[in-house]
């Protein structure tokens, strides 16, 4: 892998860690906290290509699994990843890979914003499908009840998706280091 690719991967791992330093927000009646790391997931997937995005998320997840406090609230370790909200975090690499795959194929300039938004939305749906299922299984709850309780978070993520789409498209259009780093 080229130095430029390794640098980009490291930069986005650091960005994920920085978003983890922001405190999670507990919303009453919702069992899963609102975290800013979902913004990081959206940006990693939509700015980097699929391979580099996956590599960044696998490094990040490995750090979390090793106990490095990289997750929101300065948490880390297998206990967190295998706990009630671990399904959301474990879904991040897959979501980033899918977002990256979808955004890699957006070539028509006029469809770039809409295509990025749809790609990020698909990634978010993957995270919620895995995270909600894991949470329901872990806590012996109804899948529908957990999905309903996550509705507010999903709506907030739709707002974050709009913001991340604008940021990702602008960065991809303006930063030559990202445009020219497609070759690994």
pTM: predicted TM-score of the whole model, two decimal places: 0.91
pLDDT < 70 regions, the chain = 108, 177, 179-184
Q: What is the pLDDT of residue 179?
A: 61
Q: What single-letter DSSP state applies at residue 83?
A: S
Cα–Cα distances in angstroms (integers) from residue 103 to residues 7, 25, 81, in the given order? 21, 30, 28
Q: What is the pLDDT of residue 41?
A: 96
Q: What is the pLDDT of residue 175?
A: 78
Domains and CATH numbers, the chain: 3-180 (1.10.1760.20)
Using one digit for the tens of pLDDT, what is the confidence trace for 56-97? Answer: 999 999 999 999 999 998 999 999 999 999 999 999 999 999
Cα–Cα dist 171/105, whole Å: 17
- The gap from C-alpha 74 to its chain's centroid, in whole angstroms, comes to 17
Report how far apart the first and last C-alpha atoms of the chain are (Å, whole number): 6
Cα–Cα dist 11/89, whole Å: 19
Q: What is the pLDDT of residue 180?
A: 55
Q: What is the pLDDT of residue 184?
A: 45
Q: What is the pLDDT of residue 183?
A: 46
DSSP SS3 for 25: strand
The secondary element (H helix, E strand) that includes residue 137 is helix 112-139
């Amino acid at each position: 892998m080229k130095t430029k690719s390794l640098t980009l991967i490291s930069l986005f791992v650091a960005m994920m860690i920085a978003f983890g330093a922001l405190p999670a927000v507990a919303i009453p009646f919702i069992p899963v906290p609102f975290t800013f790391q979902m913004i990081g997931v959206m940006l990693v997937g939509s700015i980097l290509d699929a391979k580099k995005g996956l590599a960044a998320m696998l490094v990040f997840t490995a750090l979390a699994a090793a106990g490095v406090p990289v997750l929101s609230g300065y948490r880390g370790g297998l206990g967190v990843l295998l706990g009630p909200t671990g399904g959301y975090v474990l879904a991040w690499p897959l979501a980033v890979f899918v977002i990256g795959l979808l955004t890699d194929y957006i070539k028509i300039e006029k469809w770039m914003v809409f295509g990025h938004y749809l790609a990020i939305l698909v990634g978010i749906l993957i995270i919620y499908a895995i995270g909600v299922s894991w949470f329901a299984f872990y806590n012996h709850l109804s899948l529908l009840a957990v999905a309903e309780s996550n509705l507010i978070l999903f709506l907030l993520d739709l707002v974050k998706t709009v913001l991340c789409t604008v940021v990702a498209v602008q960065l991809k259009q303006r930063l030559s280091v990202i445009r020219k780093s497609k070759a690994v």
